[in-house]
Amino acid sequence: MTWTGTLALRIASSIGRCWLAFFAPALLAAFAAPAAAQSIELDAATRSRCVDVLRQGLAGSDFWPAIHAAEGLTLGGHADEVRRVLGPRLAATRDDQERCGIARELVRAGDRRHVAVLLAVLAGEDDYGHVHAAESLYKVVEIGDGRALRNAFERPTNLRLKLMTAGALGRCGNRRAMTFLRAMLDHEDPEQYRIAAWILGRIGDDGDIARLKRNLKRAPDELTRAYVEHSLAALGDADGLKALLRNLASDDAAVRTYAATFAGDARAIGAAGALRAMLDDPHLDARIRAAQSLLVLAAPPPPDPQEDVSRLVFRATQEHPRYTEGSVIELNGGSLVLAVTEFQGSGSDFAKARIVARRSTDGGRTWGEPRVLQENSGGLNVMSVTLRRLAAPAADGTIAMFYLEKNSFSDLDLLVRFSSDELATFSPPLRITADPGYHVVNNDRVTQLSSGRLIVPAASTADVKTENHFVSHCYLSDDGGRTWRKGKGVVDAARRGAMEPEVVELTDGRLLMIVRTQLGTIGRSYSQDGGETWSDLESLGVQSPEAPATLRRIPATGDLLLIWNNTYVPGAGHGGPRTPLTAALSADEGDSWRIVDDLEADPKRTFSYTSLTFVGHRAVMSYWESDPATNRLSTRFRSLPVAWFYR
């Protein structure tokens, strides 16, 4: 429900409202004992009626009910219809609040391109659409790189905006935002604390039940009380569920509508009869929300948002003894694609290899059949893929696939191909590393700065067999990847040098490069000119064997997340085993680190070459996992809620 629609709901006709009260006693009894069923059976006639109600709403002239109907149609399996109807409407309106509503439902319907509309409205100077943009981002669990939301959350002047940005950030793992929302339950203004209650009902936990119940005593009106009751219901509170059922029979159209909406969120199976009756409610939005919740309740329950999804997606075999160096990307429609290097006959870095990928439509729980993204075009192999969706100055919708082409011990280059159709097809390859040499660019390493500049961090040597000393540097593109040049500065270290670099942009505009070394720690260097030149190498202050580390900024919090092998054994090969695989956080731009926990800790296996991206409220990873019996290397997919790193 958008806040602009509340007044309209409350000014509804009272004709025919008493009919629902007939159902209340029997349905209240349905809540007396929790039902074992997780979903309802919806007959064909009722399902058809639900869809008809939603289609009529979508076609109607009342804007916000039409947007709510679009949500219901998407949740009911008719996303293609929503995209077809709303696409032209987005192009036709210049009203920022309406643009947010339309863009939100297009995103929910599987067209994630329109997240950019919401972020642009939120970051715009005109504050007319700011709250709606933040609310919409919260609803569809999208925060982009988090900067616009984090900036808006820090503004003290607009409390409603702060509440909605807190909802979006808190849903994606920001503990400060959750603390603020819980504190707002004690606010003296009922309008403020009911919004906080509304949000916590969807993203809170059992600990919020007592907090919410305290607010019931001071609710000044039925609508405010209903907000709190429905959130209690969504959190599984029995009294809240009973209150939600009573509210389905309320004389207040707003209360009825909110009850119908939250019936789906609360998986209120016992409300099915009342919701069926509400398909004839005299109020349009109540009918729409009842239809939506019936379709939601007929579908399987959603996955647990705290689930740890861990799957061995590419399992090594005798024919393909090594699947490593992966990268994960979310496609426009919400599917995930995991691409890896598939080696043939041997696990050597110099064995024949190509890039293959599998797709998941359920967040990584199951995966489709493999598909070749890049055949072996090298004298030896192609390997170490990076998939990146590019922002301007690249064309809208561009995905870049970076990969190494290996011809010999002295000839290793990075190439890139572009896709404008979500990885269905690719442009011809473009060579990035035009200078001679052996240029190592790890998987999942390319960074796009806030300026739009693309940064490829590379470690180069003339010949990996005869020289085998690396210096790190960057290749740069300022035109979306069409042309490239080599930066001027390099980073060096003792022994084998500065290897396998990673680059992240800091909040003050500098770049931080971390590198693999043989010195027992992760090395670091800084650039103040966008990757052109670099400071002398120093220690990051984190011990490490000679192994790569992965560094990213968490969108919801702004903290830096480091994933690496937290072990160092002086004198051991490569400085120690590549286990455990550990996560650490920095809240001060990498100056200090707090170890969170081990992601993997089996001492008989090794884990390395991690990829990391953020999808909604989750940190999505891939990494190799060794088999101690065969010494083969497989690729594991891992998806954790961001909140896991803040336990």
Average pLDDT over residues 98-123: 97
Residues with Cβ within 8 Å of 606's Cβ and at least 6 positions away in sequence, in order, are: 577, 578, 579, 624, 625, 626
Q: To the nearest whole number, what is the mean pLDDT of the chain?
A: 94
Query: Residue 399 corresponds to which tokens in the numbers above?
Result: 């995905």
pLDDT, mean of residues 479-506:
98
In the predicted model, is pLDDT for residue 35 greater than 90? no
Which one-letter amino acid corresponds to residue 120? Answer: A
Distance CA 535, CA 425 (A): 40
Is the domain of 235 the same as that of 319?
no
Going by pLDDT thresholds of 50, 70 and 90, the confidence category of residue 384 is very high
Query: Is 72 inside a domain boundary?
Result: no
- pLDDT above 80 (res 13): no
Residue 239, domain CATH: 1.25.10
Instruction: Look at the chain and report how many structural domains it folds into.
Output: 3
Rounded distance, CA 472 to CA 110, Å? 40
Burial class (CB in 10 A: 0-12, 13-18, 19+), 343: buried
Q: Are residues 1 and 94 in the same domain?
A: no
- Please tell me whether residues 167 and 207 are part of one structural domain: no
Are 145 and 116 in contact by the 8 Å Cβ rule? The answer is no
Question: How far apart (Å, rounded) are the C-alpha atoms in residues 547 and 502?
Answer: 12
What's the distance, Cα to Cα, between the start and end of the chain in Å? 31
What's the token pair of residue 390?
């590019």
Contact status, residue 640 vs residue 618, Cβ threshold 8 Å: yes
Residue 22 has pLDDT above 60, yes or no: no
Cis omega (within 30 of 0) for bond into 282: no
67, part of any domain: no
Check whether residue 347 and residue 458 sit in a common domain: yes
Contacts 24+ apart (CB under 8 A), 176-180: 176/557, 177/153, 177/556, 178/203, 178/204
For 423-485, give the DSSP string.
TSS-PPPEES--SSEEEE--TT--EE-TTS-EEEEEEEES-TTTT--BEEEEEEESSTTSS-E
Q: What's the pLDDT at 156?
A: 74
Residue 68 in any domain: the answer is no
> Which of 299, 322, 357 is where one domain is finished?
299
Q: Do 330 and 246 have their domain in common?
A: no
Instruction: Check residue 2 and give its pLDDT.
Output: 42
Examine the domain organization and report whether 514 and 605 are in the same domain: yes
Considering the entire predicted model, what is its pTM?
A: 0.93
- Does the structure show a pLDDT above 90 at 365? yes
pLDDT mean over 380-392: 98
Domain boundary among 174, 208, 240: 174
Q: What is the pLDDT of residues 308-347, one digit of tens each?
A: 999 999 999 999 999 999 999 999 999 999 999 999 999 9
Is residue 200 domain-resident?
Answer: yes
CATH of the domain at 630: 2.120.10.10
Q: What mean pLDDT do residues 464-493 have?
A: 97
Tens of pLDDT, residues 260-272: 999 999 999 999 9
Same domain, 378 and 430: yes
Q: Is residue 339 located within the same domain as residue 418?
A: yes
- Report if residue 376 sits inside a domain: yes
Burial readout 420-442 (b: 16 or more C-beta within 10 A, e: otherwise): eeebeebeebbebbeeebbbbbb
Name the pLDDT band for 31 (thresholds 50, 70, 90): very low
Q: Residue 409's pLDDT band (boundaries 50, 70, 90)?
A: very high
* Owning domain of residue 268: 1-61+185-299
Q: Reduce the DSSP state of residue 394 to 3 states and report it.
A: coil
Q: Is residue 30 part of a domain?
A: yes
- Percentage of the chain with pLDDT > 90? 92
| Domain co-membership, 267 together with 404 | no
521 phi and psi angles, rounded to 5 deg: -140, 165
Residue 66 domain flag: no
- pLDDT over 60 at 34, yes or no: no
For residues 284 and 216, membership in a common domain is answered with yes
State pLDDT tens for residues 557-594.
999 999 999 999 998 989 999 999 999 999 999 999 99
Nearest C-alpha neighbor of 132 from the set 5, 287, 240: 5
- Mean pLDDT calculated for residue range 299-305: 95
Q: Above 60 in pLDDT, residue 504? A: yes
Please indicate, yes or no, whether residues 38 and 122 belong to a single structural domain of this protein.
no
Residue 3: the pLDDT is 38
| pLDDT for position 217 | 86
Query: Which has the minimum average pLDDT: 17-21, 52-56, 67-71, 355-359?
Result: 17-21
For residue 4, what pLDDT band results from cuts at 50, 70 and 90?
very low
For residue 20, the model assigns a pLDDT of 36
608 lies in a domain? Answer: yes
60-65 mean pLDDT = 96
602-635 per-position pLDDT tens digit: 999 999 999 999 999 999 999 999 999 999 999 9
How would you write 157-178 as a 3-class SS string?
CCHHHHHHHHHHHHHCCCHHHH
The Cα 443–Cα 385 span in angstroms is 5
What is the bridge-based pairing of β-strands 437-440 and 411-419? parallel
Residue 11 in this model has a pLDDT that exceeds 70: no
Q: What is the pLDDT of residue 310?
A: 98
Q: Of 111, 142, 174, at which residue does a domain stop?
A: 174
pLDDT of the residue at 155: 83
**Per-residue model confidence (pLDDT) at position 27:** 37
Phi, psi of 82 (to 5 degrees): -65, -45
185 pLDDT higher than 70: yes
* Same domain assignment for residues 374 and 317: yes
Residue that wins the pLDDT comparison between 276 and 9: 276
